[in-house]
Structure formats: C-alpha cells, structure tokens
Amino acid sequence: MPTEILVIIIVVVIVLAVAFSWLGVRKLAQKHTRSAVADSPHKIHLAKQQVVFIYNPTKSGAEAAKTLITRSVSKADWPAPIFMETSVEDPGYSMAAAALEAKADVVIVGGGDGAVRAVGQVLRHTEVPLAIIPLGTGNLLARNLKLDITDIAGCVQTALFGHQRHIDAGLMEIEDGVTGSTSKHSFMVIAGLGMDADVMNDTRSKLKEHVGWLAYSEAGLRHLAGPRKKVSIALDDEPTQQRKVRSVLFANCGLLPGGIDFVPGALIDDGVLDVVVISPRSAFGWMAMAGKVVFQHKNHLPVIDFYRSKKLIIRTVMPVETQIDGDPTGPATCVKVSVENKAVLVRVASPDALL
C-alpha cells in the first residue's frame, strides 16, 4: 500500500474515532433505552449475603476494591467476604466453581473482560449473580451494563446493594480441521473470526498498559491491508451464503469503548445474536464503513452487513483466527455459534441511577 494512502487512512480513522467518541458520549447522555436497560432490573431480597470476590491481583484498584468490600460487608453485619485470586493459568474458572461450593450469594469479579467471561461461564444457569468491578482495558460488559468504570466505590456499592437482571450468553464451538483440535467457549460481549482476532493476537501488551483500549486501534491500523477470506455462513435454518470477508462478529451487545455504538439496537437479553459481516477490500471501503458506523446512516453498504440469528455455522477451507471477548482462541475451520437466553444473572445499578 502506498505511503500516502496509508497516511490518509490513519488520519481519517483518527478523526472519525474522535468524532465518534464525542457523538457516542453525547448520544448516551440523552438515551437510556440501550441493551443494558431493555429489561427492568429487580431488587435484591436477601437479609445477608455471602460475598465472594474473585480478582486479578495485578490490576490497579484491586486492593482498593478489597478494602471497600470488607468495610461494606462488616457494616452490613454479613459473613466475612471470601477472597480468591486469579492467575495467568486460570482467569477465574476454578475460583468460580469454588465460590459455588462456598454457597456464595453473589460473586464479584475484579478484573477485565477475560476474568468476567471466565466467571460468567461457570455461573450460567445457577441463579448466583455475577457482579463486576471493572479493572481491565476494555471493560466491555461493564460498559454495556451502564457501570461507571471510573468509580470503583460506586461499582462496589452496586455489586453489594444494587439491582439485578438476566442477560444472554453466547456459545462458540471451535474446530480446526487441520489439527483436529476442538474447544467450546462462552462469551458475554462479542466473539468473532478473521481480522478482529488477528488484531487481538497482535495488540502490544506494553502499549495496552500505557494507552488502554486505544492499543487495539494501533494494531487495527497495521491490519487494515490484507486479503479477504472465503467463508460459508449459515444463519439459523437459512441457505448457506458464500462470502469473502475480513471479519465476522457475533455480538451479544454493541457498545464499545469511546462511546462507539457498533451494533445500534443490539439487546443483551433478547435471545438473539447480532451478526456483523465486514468485507472491505480497499481504503475507500474502510472509510465508507467507518462513516456508516459513526453517523449510523440507514443506507446499505456492501462492505458491512448486519443480521440477527439464534445460531449460525461458519466454515472455511484454511484455518482462520478466532477470539471471544477480546481473548484469542486459536485458529478454526468450523465455528458454531449459538445463544443462551437470559443465562446469567448480573448485578446492575438501580433504574433511577441511569436517569
């Protein structure tokens, strides 16, 4: 790609990102009927709660959250909270299982989307509520649940004394026909295959520590140029489509960092996934797609298509990288995705706090 064109793309992306961040924040300040408040939260009816706090000890704010939880639980005269640390090897699966064995009334996660996803996967269908203290880079589920990711004390109060509601969980089964490997994962926010997974794989960890979610933008710019991949897509029971794509995303909810409303109207509890097929093949295609997302105009563009589906199957000839909630999950030649309606009970702020 010529240097001049690359510079133009970078400038356009930066300008659109800034504009969209402002527009998104402005829009969210005026509209409160998004995915996070589609279903009315209900009050907690427990006199005492056994609190379990599963947290990433490397995250800034983890110790402050522990202190706040300890003080609040003591003042409420509840049983002493149980603290469990995640690790590089286990982001929360075994800790969540241990929390269930300890008869937890609420499991609070202090970490990023990886820890939230791991704990949420274990808590599916248990009716034990998941609460979030957002300490990660993207904090996507927290954003979609309208939690203030800058207010640890407020999130602790919501986790202990807030309301609760059910949300959907996505399921993704991955098969690599080359190696024969298979795996199955739950996701809370967005999973996908193609360029988005390449970006997650290639995002520089040191840069994430310094600039947060903007590090994904840097990696994205490096992956703008590249070939489209041939895939077959079967949505629900409809005929299979043959497509050339850069990415296919499966969204449980649509709000991204910077106020980006990537999937307008996406509902987190409707029992349906919003499927986004992205297929630009030139700089102009990327710019057109960015303009559509930023200004949310209704005109159809061939470079981005939106579908709604309860289940889908994607097949490729050669393995394509996959990701769930920002975590790489390896290459696949077959991906099966489905949704579990209202599978996870989560703690949220009271409806009055959203007004």
For the entire predicted model, the pTM comes to 0.82
How large is the average pLDDT for residues 198-217? 57
Tell me the mean pLDDT in the region 160-185.
95
In this model, does residue 35 exceed pLDDT 50? no
Q: Which residues pair with 326 in a beta bridge?
A: none
Bridge-based pairing state of the strands 106-111 and 130-134: parallel
* Predicted local confidence at residue 204, as pLDDT: 56
Distance between CA atoms of 111 and 149, rounded to whole angstroms?
11
Better-predicted residue by pLDDT, 331 or 228: 331
| Window from 102-106, 157-161, 200-204, 214-218 with minimum mean pLDDT | 214-218
Instruction: Please state which of the ranges 110-119, 128-137, 245-254 shows the lowest mean pLDDT.
Output: 245-254
Structure confidence at residue 228 (pLDDT): 83
Q: What is the dihedral of CA 152, 81, 268, 228, to 10 degrees?
A: 80
